[in-house]
Chain A
Amino acid sequence: MLLQVDKVSKRFGDLIAVDGVSMSVAPGELRAVIGPNGAGKTTFFNLISGLFLPSSGRILFGGDDITRLLPARRVWRGIARTFQVTEVFPELTVLDNLRIAVEVASGYRLRPWLSRATKAAVRARVAELLETGGLIRIADRPVGELSHGDQRVAEVLMALALKPRLLLLDEPTAGMGDQETYEITRLINRLHKSDELAIVLIEHDMRVVFHLADRIMVLSEGALLAEGTPEEIARSERVQEAYLGKVA
C-alpha cells in the first residue's frame, strides 16, 4: 500500500471532525471521498497532507510513519495537494507559478543561480506541464486574471510539477461550469491512466465521482460510513439513506 491511514481522529474542542477513519490507497488507484457538507472530508485531507496533526491515529506513506511530519516534508516524500479554494500565486504569471514549483521540486530552492542547461531543463518541464493542462496560450498572464476553471487547472499543474506519488484533490470541479468540469475530469482521467500516480479526490459532482473512481469512500459526521467499488456504493442502502437519499 502507498498510503495507509490508521484510525485517525481530529478533535476541535468538543467537536469530533474526523472520528477514527482508516483508508488504504494503492499505487495508481483513484479514490473518491464523498459525503455531505460537514462530513469531515477536508479535515481528513488536512490530516493526510499535514495542515493539521491528528488527535489520535497513524498515517503511513510508503511504509514510513508520517503522522507528525511538517507539510513541506510530506511534499518531499511525494504527497501533493490542491485546495477547495484555489491556492496559487495570483500576481505571478502561469509560467512563473509552474517554474517555481518545478524549481522547488528539482531541489533548486536555495540556488542563487542556475546554469544554462539547468534553466533549459526547467523550461522544458514547464512547457510539458503547460501542454498537459492546455494553458500554453495564457502562459504569460498572471494567474489571478484567469478564469476560475483555468486557475484550478493551474493549481493541479503546480501539484503535478512536484512529481507526486499521491495527489490529493479537494473538490477539483468546485464552482465550475459544465465545459470546465468536463475538461478537468478528462485531465484527471488522463493522469490516472498514464502512470502509477495515486489520486484521492473529494468531490460533490456524482457524475464525476462515478466516472473516475476505482473505489469510493463515504464519510458522514466524521466517521466512515461505507467503502467499496462504485457499484457497491451505488447499491448500498446505508449510503442511500444517509447521503444519496437526501440528494434525490
Chain B
Amino acid sequence: MARGSKLVAAAFLWLALITMPDWLNLIGSYPQLGTRIVILALAAMSLNFLLGFTGTLSFGHAAYFGLGAYGVGLTLKYLVPNTLIGMAVGVGAGLVAAAIIGALIVRLRGIYFAMVTIAFGQVFYFIAYRWNNVTGGDDGLSGWNRLPIHLGIATIDILGNERAMYYTALALFALAAALMALLLRSPFGRTLLAIRENERRARFLGIPVDRHIWMAWVISCTFAAVAGALYALLNNFADPHDLRWDQSGDFVIMAVLGGMRSFWGPLIGAAIFVALQDYLSTQTENWMSFIGVFFILVVLFFPRGVLGVIRRRSPT
C-alpha cells in the first residue's frame, strides 16, 4: 500500500477505535463489548508479534494472559486495594514466568515448541483450577472489584464509568501497539523477520537466534499479561478458563482470522471473533462451531486472513 493510503487507513482505524463506545451504542450494542474487543485484540496482537513476525507459534499464551488476570485479581482481593499495583503484579508475574519458561523451551522449534507451550500453560491452569481456597478453583476468582485509578492530579473512575474503563484499556492498547510497531521497525525487529524468513541464514549472519526468539517471546508474553490484567479488571473476575489451552487457541484463531502477516490483522480478527461470539451466543449454545466453520472458510479461501485480502486487492 502506498504511504498516503496507509495514513488514511490508520487515521480511520484510530477514529473508529476512539469513537467505538458511541457507535456501539448507536448500533444497539454496549460499551463493554468494545472494551473486550480492544483487550482481546491486544492479546492477539501480542501473540502475533511472535507468530507473524518471528515465525514462532505459541499455543500457550493464555497462561501469561491468565497470570496477568490472576495477578491483578489476587492482589486486589488479598493484598493492596490499588488497581495500578495490581496490574503491575499481574504483568510482572507474566513477565517473570515467560522469562523462565522461555529460557527452558527456546531451543525447540515448530510443533515441539507449540506443544511445550501448551504443556506449561496447562500447569498454570491446573494450579488455578485446584487451589480452591486461594484462586476460587473452578468458580473463578471473584469477590473483588477494580478500583478507581488515582494518578495524583486526577482520578480515573474505571469502576463507576464504563467509558473510563474503555479509554483506559484503549490507552494501554495504543501504548502497547506503538511499542510493538516501534520494535518491529527497528534493527531488532528486522532480526526477528530474518529469523521468520530463514533461520539458517539468520544464524549465519551472526544473529544469536535462540536469544532473539527468547526476547521476542518475553515481549510477546508480557503484552499478553497486560491484556489479561485488563480483562480481569473489565470482568471484576478471573476465570480459570482464561489460562486454558482453548483460550490460547482463540488467540491463534483471532490472529490467523485477521491476517497474521499484517500488524493490525489480529485486531480485525479479534473484532470479528468477539462480535460473532456476542451475537451467536445469544442465538445458540453451539456458537463455537459457527466460529469454527467461519475460521475454516477463511483459512481455506483467504489464507492471509481478512486484512490480507484487502491488502491484495489494493494496488501496491
The chain A residues found within 8 Å of chain B, CB to CB, are 49, 70-72, 75-76, 80-81, 83, 87-92, 96, 99-101, 103-105, 108-114, 155, 158, 162
Contact = CB atoms under 8 A, between A and B. Distances in A.
Given A71-B204, A109-B188, A112-B188, A100 B194 contact: yes
Contact of B191 (A71, A76, A91, A109): A109
B200 interface: yes
A110 B207 CA distance: 10
A96 B206 CA distance: 16
B187 A89 contact: no
Nearest to A49: B204
A28 B307 CA distance: 51
B186 A113 contact: yes
Given A80-B204, A89-B201, 6 more contacts: A72-B203, A87-B201, A90-B198, A109-B188, A155-B201, A158-B201
Contacts, number: 80
Contacts of B200: 83, 87
Interface of B: 182-183, 186-188, 190-191, 193-194, 197-198, 200-201, 203-209, 212
Q: Give 8 closest A-B pairs by Cβ, nearest first.
A: A75-B206, A89-B197, A87-B201, A103-B187, A108-B187, A111-B187, A112-B186, A72-B206
13 contacts: A72-B207, A72-B208, A76-B206, A83-B200, A87-B204, A91-B197, A96-B193, A105-B206, A109-B187, A109-B207, A110-B188, A112-B188, A162-B205
A105 B187 CA distance: 11
Nearest to B212: A109
Contact of A96 (B190, B203, B207, B209): B190
Contact of A92 (B188, B197, B203, B208): B197
A91 B188 CA distance: 18
Contacts of A81: 204
Contacts of A101: 205
Contacts of B186: 111-114
Contacts of A80: 204
Contacts of A90: 197-198
B124 to A, nearest CB: 30
Contacts of B205: 75, 100-101, 104-105, 158, 162
